[in-house]
Structure formats: C-alpha cells, structure tokens
Amino acid sequence: MRLPFRVGIPSALLLSVLATADGAAQTRVFRAGGSDLLMGLGAANKAIAGAVVASTRDLYSVYWNPAGLARIEGFQIGASTAFRTEVYDVDFIGIAFGTDLLAPLGLKTGVALAYFPRLHVESEGQFDPDDFESLFIRFTLPFLPDDFDGTISSKTREVRLGIGVAPEEGGRWRVGFGVGYIDCTTLSCGVRASDPGNYFATTTLAYSWGFYGGVQFDLGERFTLGFIFRDPFTELNVEIITEDVDGTRTEFFDVEFPKDLALGVEWRKSSNLTFYGTVQRLAGTYGVSSIDISLLRSGVTLAAGEWDLAAGLMLQLRIAGTHFADLREEAPFLPTLGIGRSIGSLDLFLAVYPDPAMTAHFNRPYMNLDLTVRLSF
C-alpha cells in the first residue's frame, strides 16, 4: 500500500470532508492513533503542522520541546481529544507549573507531567509484511506469521516528566529535559493477537524509559531558534507468550524507536502575525523495521481580535524504510487549519488536518478534528 497521495485541496473542502462517509466497507480493518504518527499533540500545535519547536511555551512543551516549559508562569492543566481517532478517547492530559525552585541560582523553572498514547493500533484481517500498516501492526509483534489473518490490539502509552530552566533576568536562552516511562503491558495497554485455531500472542512485559532534551534561543526581538532530540536510547524490552501449532513458548526481544531530531524557527512578524518553521528527521529502527523520514513543517498564526487563526503545511521530504520501498517518488504534503479563543483563564482550540496514517490506509484524505482545552491560573 502506498503512503498518502498528494493532498492539495482548498480549505473549504477540508472541512466538508469531515462530514463525508469513509467509503465502501473493506475486507480489512485498520485503525491507528498516537503521537508516533507524525502529527504530534495539541490542537494549536497541529493547526500549524507541528512547527513549534522554537515557539512552544505551554504545558505541551513537555512533548514538543521541554525548554519551552521555562516560559510557564503560574499553573496550567489541559487535555486534548481527536474526534475521529477510534482507538482512544483522550490523546493528551497534563499539568504544568512555574516554580522558584532554582531561584537561588538565578534561574526560573517550569515543570510538567503528562500522559499520552504513543501508538494504539487495532486491525482485522490479513496484512502482508510489506504493507504500510504492518509497520505499526508488527511494532511489538516481530514474529507474527506472514499469513496471520485475525485480530490485533496493540497499545503503547507514555507518562512523561519534563523540566525547563532559563535565566530569571535578561536571558535569551532556555534549556529543557524530559524523561518518560513507556508502557505496553498494564491494564490500559498491551498487545494481543488472535487468529483462532492458528495463533495467539499476548505481552506479559513491555516497557522502556525515554529521554529528551531541547533548547530555545532568542535572536533579538523577532526571531527564536529551537532544537529537540527525542529517543536517543529508547528500547522497549518485550516479553511475549505465543501459542501456535508448535505449542506455547515465551519469547524475548527489544523493540527500538527511531532517533528524532528537529530544528525550528519562530518569526514574530508583528504583534499579531507570526510565522513558524521546523525541519525534522526520524531515522533508525521502529520495532523491527528500518525507517527514514524527513519532514518540513511550516505554519502561520494571526491574532484577529478575540480569535486566534492558524494554518500550516507538513511536507514529507523523504519517506523510506522497510515498508516504504515503493514510496521514493514525489512526497505528499498535508495542510492543516485551526481556530482558537481565550475566555478568561480558559483557552479553547480546534484543529482540522489529514491524519497521516489513516490517509495512507484509505489512500485518500482522512480528516480528523482535534479539540484542546486548557486552564491557566
């Protein structure tokens, strides 16, 4: 299966697609969601295609760039949901606060704790190892038979703690670090594969620790640069019990995550108009598959009275790897839109965008709608 074809449709059509049916029933079923599927987290961030490495400054910084946590003053709590993601209800919930913990050192500090799904997948039917969907279906099932024709439920989540620090007075830099516990075995997570009479597998142990680091640097009044490095050493240690025609056995293996680097810029053109750009590279091993993805994310926001308007574009410069042998031609681009409003201490934001993985599955735009609610005190 090919990854998304070129998506280049007017914004009015983007909204109208949300109301359309998903087309004729298919013999195979595939549903997926999570932060690993390129769009990231938070409606305001998705609305500018995730081009926020240099600009992030709220509790979502714990995911995008923990250096941005140093900008937080007071207390924030927030949550997001993606209305057309069928494999979970909430794709982010977190809290963040500013603290004077390091004030004796002349530093201001922001701390955040968040939960989010990294990869949730459900499938029915037979997917060949070379199919695009198998990149995710076989993420924690490397020994899945090629002729497997059953149901799979795979859920991997993360709980992440982040901290950002910056000089209290006159500083132009911010630096942040994060650590996350990645879980794939508890009551709300895990992997289960069933092909009645032929194959059954379930995880009994699957966890890892992820580490993250980022910086932001202000270049005068109008420009800010940002950098983030995610998952430099992340490996999921998996224990799985398998039952098939050869009997019951316990298998052990390590599941790797690709290294993820991004460099971004924010340009504050005026008091109400801002432009954003990020170049991102994900390379290495994802599960048992090689992966090499390069993205260019760009966006713009406009403060229009009580409303915040946003638009973005994610250009896939390179898509290659084990399951992408036929995807070396012209890269697709995915447009995004959003609108938000602040009402006192309450911030609301809606974003509409083509879901990359589901667009790949259906081979046409699969539009999703995100809502973020945030309270600041």
- Does residue 3 form part of some domain? no
The Cα–Cα gap between 61 and 66 comes to: 5
Work out the percent of the chain whose per-residue pLDDT is above 90: 54
Query: What are the residues whose beta carbons fall under 8 Å from the beta carbon of 316, sequence distance 6 or more?
Result: 3, 4, 293, 294, 295, 331, 332, 333, 334
The Cα–Cα gap between 300 and 307 comes to: 14
Task: Give the CB-side neighbour count of residue 7, counting CA atoms within 13 A.
Answer: 26
- Does residue 4 form part of some domain? no
Give the best-scoring range by mean pLDDT among 19-33, 283-297, 319-333.
283-297
Burial bucket for residue 10 (CB in 10 Å: 0-12, 13-18, 19+): exposed
Burial bucket for residue 307 (CB in 10 Å: 0-12, 13-18, 19+): exposed
The reported pTM is: 0.87
Under DSSP, is residue 218 helix (H, G, I), strand (E, B) or coil?
A: strand
CATH of the domain at 17: 2.40.160.60
**Confidence check: pLDDT of 163 > 60:** yes
- Does residue 2 form part of some domain? no
Using pLDDT thresholds of 50, 70 and 90, give the confidence band for residue 143.
Answer: confident
Using pLDDT thresholds of 50, 70 and 90, give the confidence band for residue 60.
Answer: very high
Under DSSP, is residue 328 helix (H, G, I), strand (E, B) or coil?
A: coil
- Does residue 213 form part of some domain? yes
Residue 267's closest CA among 244, 236, 297, 301?
301
Rg (CA), the chain: 21
pLDDT at 186: 65
Between 114-123, 139-148, 190-199, the lowest mean confidence (pLDDT) is in 139-148
Q: Can you give the residue range of the structural domain that contains 230? A: 11-376
The Cα–Cα gap between 149 and 134 comes to: 13
Residue 156's closest CA among 115, 124, 201, 96?
115
Query: pLDDT digit string (tens) for 336-363?
Result: 999 999 999 999 999 999 998 888 888 8
* Total domain count, the chain: 1
- Does residue 18 form part of some domain? yes
Query: What are the residues whose beta carbons fall under 8 Å from the beta carbon of 217, sequence distance 6 or more?
Result: 172, 173, 174, 224, 225, 226
What mean pLDDT do residues 308-335 have? 75
Residue 178's closest CA among 224, 227, 111?
111
What mean pLDDT do residues 13-19 have? 39
- Does residue 1 form part of some domain? no
- Does residue 156 form part of some domain? yes
- Does residue 5 form part of some domain? no
Using pLDDT thresholds of 50, 70 and 90, give the confidence band for residue 79.
Answer: very high
pLDDT at 260: 95
End-to-end CA distance of the chain: 48
Query: pLDDT digit string (tens) for 281-313?
Result: 999 887 777 888 899 999 999 999 889 999 999
Q: Which residues pair with 158 in a beta bridge?
A: 116, 182
Q: Are 326 and 350 in contact (CB under 8 A)?
A: no
